[in-house]
Chain A
Amino acid sequence: MGVFKTFVLGGIHPEENKLSSNAPIEIVPVPGQAIIPLGQNLGAPAKPVVKKGDKVKTGQLIAEAGGFISANIHSPVSGTVLKIDNVVDMTGFRRPGLVIKTDGDEWDENIDRSDELVTEINYTSQEIIEKIKQAGLVGMGGATFPTYVKLMPPPGKKAEYVIINGVECEPYLTGDHRLMLEKGPEIVVGAKILMKALKVDKAIIGIESNKQDAINLMTELTNKEEDITVIPLTVKYPQGGEKQLIKATVNREVPSGKLPIEVGCVVQNVGTAFAVYEAVQKNKPLFERVVTVTGKSVKKPSNFLARIGTPISKLVEIAEGMPEDTGKVIGGGPMMGKALPSLEVPVVKGSSGVLLMRDKESHRKPESACIRCSKCTIVCPMGLEPFLLARVSKLGRYDLAGNEKIMDCIECGSCQYTCPANIPLLDYLRLGKNKVGNIMRNRKK
């Protein structure tokens, strides 16, 4: 074993704390009622196609895409539509959504529920993209960008590589790791489907070296496939970011403000690859996903296969309850996740984990003045100057922030993690990014 590949600029090494990496994926019972927010993907929210009182089956279309960058939503349970109203979503805001009361678990007839592995891909590229679009697939890594949009390169651009992201660089989260161990063959077929959809002949699976068992298994599975390579990577956060992963695996750099397709790469999460397999080979739309429930005081850190719309409280209950010293509950990983306002929020397409932080580790330390140590600049994986961007955003100089490429920030939080003065750099960066984004959009109009 030599030195593994990794990206060059910046990066940090937070404590890994992969507490649940040995816990097999557990199937969560169907919830009594499912709360389904309509805005689960990046882009426009979906539009409901069912009415109050309608009977729906598991996997039935209940809301269709509300625009080009949008995704269909399918019923995660079978039962009756209780109401179409404002529901509490992951951020605690009451936004349009559906509530479905569960009655049994009757699946849509088209879904193949057998466990048999289907390796034969009998569809053309167009058919695959259409199927993925119909199944409402979004990026399962957390950004929830509709998958089918990524599979349609703009005219003149040609994809060369499909990169399957099995990095899972966020501390604590283990969902992708478990998925690779348990559904390895399916993920390989999913990768092949993606290759066929994009008409490329090279695929790369990037896995960090702290998941040696997954690397071994995936290498074994892809031994016979000449066109799929497994690349072990050095553990470094934020390697799971698209641009960082491309740099680490194929050593190409995505230009500022451009998408990965610019350098011929399409990155998909292993969770997405598995969902692609299910959508194309089994006709199963995206209505369940793997969620890690973890934390240092959690009695049983686990990985769950939960239906969309299951309240987080139910998952915590199965993980043997909320520890008494819980100070903060985070939706997602500790680096990029957001604190949840209550445990009654539902699992959505982008929920990768639930982290129950202990009270003593959950508080922010008091902010002090910037001492110009330049640590944030050193660790920034995008080569930005977070201290400067935070300063100009705080002062409202969004023109300067735009000039200093604030839009390239991937919001990984490395700067804030490393700041010895505990300045909430990421907060200001997000604010500035939001404002600059709005200004740029308005200018285009």
Chain B
Amino acid sequence: MDNIIIIAIIALGGLGLISAVILYFIASKFKVFEDPKIDEVEEALPSANCGACSFPGCRSFAEATVKSAKENKNIEGLFCPVGGNDVMQKVGELLGLDVEVQDPMIAVIKCNGTFNNSPAKIKYEGASSCAFAHALFTGEGGCQYGCLGHGDCVDACDFDAIHMSPETGLPVVNDKCTACGACVEACPRDIIELRKKGPKYRRIFVSCVNKEKGGPAKKNCSVACIGCGKCEKVCNFDAITITSFLAYIDFKKCTLCRKCVEVCPTDAIWEVNFKPRKPKPLTPEGSVARKPAPVRKNDDLLVTATEEKPEIISKTEDNPNA
């Protein structure tokens, strides 16, 4: 009886030993050389595997970075938007290369078709999916360019950075945004854009993507860009272009002077995270003193400074009601 156990132990142990020796030799013979730097770079990356860098995951980004560093002596065009400049700096140190500092970006919702601004005309009862609703109809407010409000962008976000606001029916981006671009791709109406985060998170953008002329655009939404061109004229830096009745502010050229915000007749241009402006001195005769621009913080729910309507102010005393 004892014999059998001993034989079994010797036989199996011997077999295991022989296999181990064979495997050891095969492994060393056919070893694939892998740069240890790949592991180091991967370690430095955020491991979100979100695909924002256009690679399938952090590992393949690390491989591509090390390969590029080896072959071209630079890692131009490779950037981890989630990790941002800090992580890229670390990667650069590991590879002994200088990394260009890039402006941090954030996803910006370019639609302000809230329940008030674009009241619902059509009732929708279908599946709750923007992609489907987009193929079927214009949207409850009637604007065929505006946000549908079913939250495909929320589903796409891996970072809990975008949420639907129940008050406005529009998505809201918070500080967690890493500019990975998943929501940009998910939006069937191309409303979301990645824009520069800006100094002190300040940014100015056109919160509308309506390509219609003034009349049809205003019919469905009171804050639509009507393509009047006032902002284009007032901009001293050629940052604003108007194509098919829609203004676009180039964030690379914009100096955040806020002139365009003042002239916009429909409040389509937004300034975010700026301090509220001082009340202006009386405007010239007959012109309209505009209501102060709404104070907007980090794309959160907009807070209007005052709810008063614009009033006509005249300097002449004999005609106070002019």
> Does A91 lie within 8 Å of B212, measured CB to CB?
no
Q: Which of B176-232 contact A (CB under 8 A)?
A: 212, 216
Residues of B within 8 A of A428 (CB): 127, 129, 132
Nearest to A364 among chain B residues (CB) is B125
CA distance A187 to B216 in the complex (A): 43
Q: Does B131 have its Cβ within 8 Å of any Cβ on chain A?
A: yes
> Does A86 lie within 8 Å of B216, measured CB to CB?
yes
> Does A363 lie within 8 Å of B212, measured CB to CB?
no
Residues of B within 8 A of A94 (CB): 144, 212, 216
Partner-binding segment picked from B74-82, B133-141, B260-268: B133-141
Q: Which of A402-427 contact B (CB under 8 A)?
A: 424, 427
CA distance A338 to B135 in the complex (A): 11
> Does B137 lie within 8 Å of A91, measured CB to CB?
yes
> Does B212 lie within 8 Å of A86, measured CB to CB?
yes
> Does B132 lie within 8 Å of A91, measured CB to CB?
no
CA distance A94 to B125 in the complex (A): 22
Residues of A within 8 A of B135 (CB): 430-431, 434
Q: Looking at chain A's contact residues, is the secondary structure mostly helix, strand, loop, or mixed?
A: mixed
Residues of A within 8 A of B129 (CB): 394, 427-428, 431
A366, chain B: closest CB distance, angstroms = 10
B158, chain A: closest CB distance, angstroms = 14
Q: Which of B126-158 contact A (CB under 8 A)?
A: 126-127, 129, 131-132, 135-138, 142, 144
CA distance A405 to B240 in the complex (A): 48
Q: Looking at chain B's contact residues, is the secondary structure mostly helix, strand, loop, or mixed?
A: loop
Q: Which of A57-92 contact B (CB under 8 A)?
A: 86, 91-92
Nearest to A363 among chain B residues (CB) is B125
A95, chain B: closest CB distance, angstroms = 9
Q: Does A48 have its Cβ within 8 Å of any Cβ on chain B?
A: no
Residues of A within 8 A of B48 (CB): none
> Does A92 lie within 8 Å of B137, measured CB to CB?
yes
B134, chain A: closest CB distance, angstroms = 10
CA distance A428 to B136 in the complex (A): 12
> Does B127 lie within 8 Å of A91, measured CB to CB?
no
B307, chain A: closest CB distance, angstroms = 32
Residues of B within 8 A of A430 (CB): 132, 135
Residues of A within 8 A of B136 (CB): 91, 338
Residues of A within 8 A of B138 (CB): 91-93, 341
Q: Does A435 have its Cβ within 8 Å of any Cβ on chain B?
A: yes
A431, chain B: closest CB distance, angstroms = 4
Residues of A within 8 A of B131 (CB): 431, 434-435
Q: Does B302 have its Cβ within 8 Å of any Cβ on chain A?
A: no
Q: A93-B144, A341-B138 are in contact. Are A431 and B132 (CB under 8 A)?
A: yes
> Does A427 lie within 8 Å of B122, measured CB to CB?
no
> Does A341 lie within 8 Å of B142, measured CB to CB?
yes
Q: Which of B87-138 contact A (CB under 8 A)?
A: 121-122, 125-127, 129, 131-132, 135-138
Q: Which of A329-358 contact B (CB under 8 A)?
A: 338-339, 341
> Does B122 lie within 8 Å of A92, measured CB to CB?
yes
CA distance A341 to B139 in the complex (A): 10
Nearest to A433 among chain B residues (CB) is B135
> Does A427 lie within 8 Å of B137, measured CB to CB?
no
Residues of A within 8 A of B126 (CB): 364, 424, 427
> Does B216 lie within 8 Å of A341, measured CB to CB?
no
Residues of A within 8 A of B216 (CB): 86, 94
Q: Which of A428-445 contact B (CB under 8 A)?
A: 428, 430-431, 434-435
Nearest to A425 among chain B residues (CB) is B127
Residues of B within 8 A of A86 (CB): 212, 216
Nearest to A435 among chain B residues (CB) is B131
Give 27 pairs: A residue, B residue, CB < 8 Å, sorted on A. A86-B216, A91-B137, A92-B122, A92-B142, A93-B144, A94-B212, A338-B137, A341-B121, A341-B122, A341-B142, A363-B125, A364-B125, A364-B126, A394-B127, A394-B129, A424-B126, A424-B127, A427-B127, A427-B129, A427-B132, A428-B129, A430-B135, A431-B127, A431-B129, A431-B131, A431-B132, A434-B135
| Known interface pairs A92-B142, A427-B129; 17 further A-B residue pairs with C-beta atoms within 8 A, sorted by A's residue number | A86-B216, A91-B138, A92-B122, A92-B138, A92-B144, A93-B138, A94-B212, A338-B136, A341-B121, A341-B122, A363-B125, A427-B127, A427-B132, A430-B135, A431-B129, A431-B132, A431-B135
Across the A-B interface, the 3 shortest Cβ-Cβ residue pairs: A427-B127, A431-B132, A364-B125
Binding site for A on B (CB under 8 A): 121-122, 125-127, 129, 131-132, 135-138, 142, 144, 212, 216
